Amino acid sequence: MLKQKQVKFYLLLFAVLTFCNAAAALAAELRYTLSMPQPHTHYFEVEAELSGVKKNYVDFTLPVWAPGSYLVREFAKNIEGFEATDKSGKALRSEKIDKNTWRVYSNKADVVRAKYDVYAYELSVRTSYLDASHGYVNGTSVFMYPEGYEKLNGTLVVKPFQGWEKVSTGLKSTGNFTYTFPNYDILADSPLEIGNHEVYTFTAAGVPHEVAMYGEGNFDPKELVADMKKVVEEAVEVIGELPVDRYVFIVHNLNRGGGGLEHLNSTTLQTSRWNYGTAAGYNGFLSLVAHEYFHLWNVKRLRPLALGPFNYNQENYTDLLWVSEGITSFYDDLIVRRAGFTTPQRYLDVVAGSIHAVENTPGNKVQTVAEASYDAWIKYYRRNENSNNAEVSYYTKGGVLGHLLNMEVLEATDGEKSLDDVMRYMYNRYYKQLNRGFKEAEFKEALEKISGRNMDAFFSNYVNGTATPNYNEYFDAAGLRLVNINEGSKVASWGASTAVSDGKVMVRAVNRGTSAYEGGLNVNDEIVAVNGYRVGDDLDSFTNRLGVGDTAEVLITRDGKLQTLKIPMLKNETVRYRFERVQNPSNVQQRIFNKWLDIDQS
């Protein structure tokens, strides 16, 4: 047992060491320089300078994934030419000690400069890209961090290619393409668009917003910016506050593209450049805007416990992506509806479409939505020909569960409260008050608190189980019935997706429980003939003539060998839903219907 004097001594020693470490951290400085002298080669040049730290060695590490996209992408594969010097330019010995870490033997040099090139030629919202027209930087794929100094503030200097005059980013600018960041997390979470893109601005909820538009498109800038503002203002209404002082949209208009990635005070969106010309395409883009913007609260601030602080070197597991992404999917189309861009009927069609998309996915009966969340790292971004049979999307099913939870709260409170109140409570409780992530049990508790109902069965059956909900029990609260248009259909199932390649009809996927699946048709089979007749690109004309109980004699080649399969045609069990109003809805049902669909009740 330590004596009292010894205890005091060790406490004093600990305090002194803590002070010394803190003082050293305050003295340290971190500075990045990003250059792109030959953009047509697709190489960014990066210099990371750490000063004020005298150590025997410093480890520089590049993350293996991008937060918000749950896949280890091994960004280090794009690093070339790593070298290190001290302040005078004298070379320092370095070596790679694992797949994404370079150790610099600094010999207590006051300044350590690490220089390296990054090959950037994958234009997605998760990666970085550079060509003769522009540069795009997603921080985790470009900026290494010195281990142990992730919380150090620093400076980023961008040196655009000659003639490029604009940089759009959520980082704080100090002028002359120089930016500051309070820690590595913020640097990594602040993408940059570099070039001569168009920049539009608007103010919503008292906050300036910037829209950086790369690439041409068939949009009217004035109209689009005004509509984006409406979407933003409706999103703010859900939580009730906007916790940023500036926000940046980076939009890539491409020949083919789609998707987005959220960041703390910015987002990157990709869309087809001609997508704005139809109502469906335009509203689809606005829905993407709403989805990524709503992440400003749900994920970037209100987050599952595992999603922050981030471990950039490995997977960060959570079984709550169905809340983070799925509930956000619930809100994206709802926000667009509230902003007045879709009719109530069109919105109901979208909701019905999401439900039958889930129910027509065989994997919905195999994988729970909690498992889908946890296994995103190895499944969602690595789909194969059997994924539809074994997996369910935590985006789509999570969105459907969001609708059921919304109905549960609306019905329990006679339309006085909704899922908005749950999300608002969660945001205030776990982000603002406790400043930490939440657990599944805590999300469940919030639902119970707002609705006044026990949610054990819901989570057991639908979140951690694969039971099929009785949808009409939920939507009856709004005076709606979900009707299966395919009910009573005598159409036979085929169940195989095919593609014509070099004149051959090749099987690309086979759905569990269908005629093709049960009859033994395999992916990569070539279908030569059906019932004695050669098929070409008109396979559907043969399969559509087959009825329930018929047998299809299918000649195939498998691994170069001809064989015949006798496939019994089974009933097509796929569903196709639409909503119908109940006759004579009650006052409460009408009130809930109006509140949900944002219909003026005056």
Ordered DSSP codes for 314-335: S----S-HIIIIIIHHHHHHHH
Q: How far apart, in whole angstroms, are the C-alpha atoms of residue 597 and residue 337?
A: 7
Angle at 315 between CA 180 and CA 123, to 5 degrees: 60
The pLDDT assigned to 6 comes to 54
Residue 176: how many other CB atoms lie within 10 Å: 7
The tokens describing 523, both together, are 């992916």
Count of alpha carbons within 13 angstroms of residue 571, beta-carbon side: 7
Looking at the DSSP bridge assignments, the partners of residue 118 are: 44, 79
The pLDDT assigned to 25 comes to 46
For the chain, the straight-line distance linking the first and the last C-alpha, in angstroms and rounded, comes to 76
255 pLDDT higher than 90: yes
Choosing among 2.60.40.3650, 1.20.1440.80, 3.90.800.10, 3.40.50.300, the CATH entry for 25-196 is: 2.60.40.3650
Tokens 């707002």, residue located: 450
Question: Do residues 386 and 522 make contact, with C-beta atoms less than 8 angstroms apart?
Answer: no
Confidence label for 5 from pLDDT (cuts 50, 70 and 90): low
Inter-axis angle of helices 440-451 and 394-412, nearest 10: 30
193 pLDDT higher than 50: yes
12 pLDDT higher than 70: no
Residues 325-351 have pLDDT tens digits of 999 999 999 999 999 999 999 999 999
Count of alpha carbons within 13 angstroms of residue 65, beta-carbon side: 19
Q: What residue spans define the domains of the chain?
A: 25-196, 198-296, 301-486+586-602, 496-568
DSSP 77: G
Residue 3: how many other CB atoms lie within 10 Å: 8
Confidence label for 353 from pLDDT (cuts 50, 70 and 90): very high
Averaged pLDDT score across all residues of the chain: 95
Q: How far apart, in whole angstroms, are the C-alpha atoms of residue 84 and residue 294?
A: 42
The pLDDT assigned to 8 comes to 53
Residues 201-237 have pLDDT tens digits of 999 999 999 999 999 999 999 999 999 999 999 999 9
448 pLDDT higher than 60: yes
DSSP 459: I
User: What number is the average pLDDT over the span 284-292?
Assistant: 98
The pLDDT assigned to 140 comes to 98
The pLDDT assigned to 490 comes to 87
As to burial, measured by CB atoms within 10 angstroms (0-12 exposed, 13-18 middle, 19+ buried), residue 153 is: middle
DSSP 462: I
Q: How far apart, in whole angstroms, are the C-alpha atoms of residue 152 and residue 174?
A: 18
The pLDDT assigned to 19 comes to 44
The tokens describing 226, both together, are 């005004």
DSSP 586: -
The pLDDT assigned to 27 comes to 78
Q: Would you call the peptide bond into 309 cis, given omega within 30 degrees of 0 as the criterion?
A: yes
Residues 482-516 have pLDDT tens digits of 999 999 888 999 999 999 999 999 999 999 999 99
The pLDDT assigned to 51 comes to 97
User: What number is the average pLDDT over the span 238-262?
Assistant: 96
Q: Do domains 198-296 and 301-486+586-602 have the same CATH topology?
A: yes
Looking at the DSSP bridge assignments, the partners of residue 33 are: 47, 157
1 pLDDT higher than 50: no
Distances from the Cα of 595 to the Cα of 123, 275, 336, angstroms: 41, 31, 15
Max CA distance (Å), the chain: 97
556 pLDDT higher than 50: yes
User: What number is the average pLDDT over the span 298-306?
Assistant: 97
The pLDDT assigned to 151 comes to 96
Angle at 593 between CA 359 and CA 481, to 5 degrees: 40
Q: How far apart, in whole angstroms, are the C-alpha atoms of residue 504 and residue 294?
A: 45
The tokens describing 554, both together, are 């299918």
Superfamily of domain 301-486+586-602: Neutral Protease Domain 2 (1.10.390.10)
The tokens describing 515, both together, are 């005629």
207-214 and 247-254 beta bridge pairing: parallel
Confidence label for 4 from pLDDT (cuts 50, 70 and 90): low
User: What number is the average pLDDT over the span 135-144?
Assistant: 98
Count of alpha carbons within 13 angstroms of residue 357, beta-carbon side: 15
Residues 39-94 have pLDDT tens digits of 999 999 999 999 999 999 999 999 999 999 999 999 999 999 999 999 999 999 99
Question: Do residues 498 and 542 make contact, with C-beta atoms less than 8 angstroms apart?
Answer: no
Q: Phi-psi region for residue 165, left (φ > 0), alpha (ψ -120 to 50) or beta?
A: alpha
Tokens 């608002």, residue located: 424
Tokens 């990524």, residue located: 292
Distances from the Cα of 153 to the Cα of 40, 140, 178, angstroms: 32, 16, 14
User: What number is the average pLDDT over the span 382-394?
Assistant: 97
The pLDDT assigned to 602 comes to 62
Q: How far apart, in whole angstroms, are the C-alpha atoms of residue 189 and residue 177?
A: 18
11 pLDDT higher than 60: no
CATH 3.40.50.300 fits 496-568, yes or no: no
> Residue 528, SS3?
strand
Question: Do residues 121 and 129 make contact, with C-beta atoms less than 8 angstroms apart?
Answer: yes
Distances from the Cα of 77 to the Cα of 99, 120, 220, 321, angstroms: 8, 11, 40, 28
Looking at the DSSP bridge assignments, the partners of residue 561 are: 558
DSSP 396: H
24 pLDDT higher than 80: no
> Residue 287, SS3?
helix
Q: How far apart, in whole angstroms, are the C-alpha atoms of residue 354 and residue 332?
A: 13
The pLDDT assigned to 547 comes to 93
Q: Enumerate residues 6+ apart whose C-beta is below 8 A from 444.
A: 455, 459
- H/E stretch holding 405: helix 394-412
Q: 198-296 sits in which CATH class?
A: mainly alpha
**Alpha carbon 390 to chain centroid distance?**
21
**Torsion angle in degrees (nearest 10) through CA of 262, 264, 266, 267:** 0
Question: Do residues 69 and 381 make contact, with C-beta atoms less than 8 angstroms apart?
Answer: yes
